[in-house]
Amino acid sequence: MSKVVEFRWHGRGGQGAKTASILLADAAFNTGKYVQGFPEYGPERMGAPIAAFNRISDQEIRVHSNVYEPNFVVVVDETLLDCVDVTAGIKADGAIIVNTPKSPDEIRPKLDGYTGKICTIDATGIAVDCIKRPIPNTPMLAAAVKVSGVMSDDEFISDMEGSLKHKFATKPQVIALNMDAIKRAIGEVKGL
């Protein structure tokens, strides 16, 4: 059986974690992988904690459940570190990617004894600078791809440009802004 790479996304409603998980699935699918990308639904509303999941593999994926032992955990909102156990089930060789201007060493004490790899990126800062809105999902998606290595940077950039052209066909300025955020995020991940 081939290795399945699993992601668990933690965010708040309205921050784009669900959208990022679906975009990751689309991008990986376009490189020939088998994929799953889905949210965990409940009574969430804007600002409430949410989770989303991905599985990416070279072979058919036969598991259809939430991700309980992820390789990578993506934390879109740093405040969730105070109320959600983002380390739950993470594999020893995995990594946690946190949206924060802080360094990995500054985040480690908030992860309750977690000794694995931590990467950080100021995705909200990048989003505000590049997209002019505090929606960090696009930079967090780029960081997740960079840290996980599920596809090359070039494959990811090319695919995202195509996806964004399709999604925002009537708003070409949005495409350029998001592509700037993606390229910047790939280069600004700390802790690699």
pLDDT tens string 68-127: 999 999 999 999 999 999 999 999 999 999 999 999 999 999 998 899 999 999 999 999
pLDDT of residue 51: 93
Give strand ranges (E) for the chain.
Answer: 5-12, 34-40, 49-57, 72-75, 95-99, 117-121
pLDDT at 42: 65
What is the average per-residue pLDDT within 6-24? 91
Give the tens place of pLDDT for each residue, 55-64.
999 999 999 8
* pLDDT tens per residue, range 134-149: 999 999 999 999 999 9
- pLDDT range class, residue 44, cuts 50, 70, 90: low
Q: Band the pLDDT of 182: cuts 50, 70, 90.
A: very high
- Residue 167's pLDDT is what? 79
Comparing CA positions, the residue from 23, 140, 129, 136 lying closest to residue 74 is 140
Model confidence band, residue 43 (pLDDT cutoffs 50, 70, 90): low
Report pLDDT for 1.
32
> Of 34-48, 141-155, 171-185, which range is least confident?
34-48
DSSP 4: P
Distance CA 53, CA 35 (A): 10
Instruction: Tell me the two tokens of residue 129.
Output: 């600078």
User: Which of 21-35, 100-114, 130-144, 166-180 comes out lowest in average pLDDT?
Assistant: 166-180
pLDDT higher for 130 or 113? 130
Are the C-beta atoms of residues 86 and 107 closer than 8 Å to each other?
no
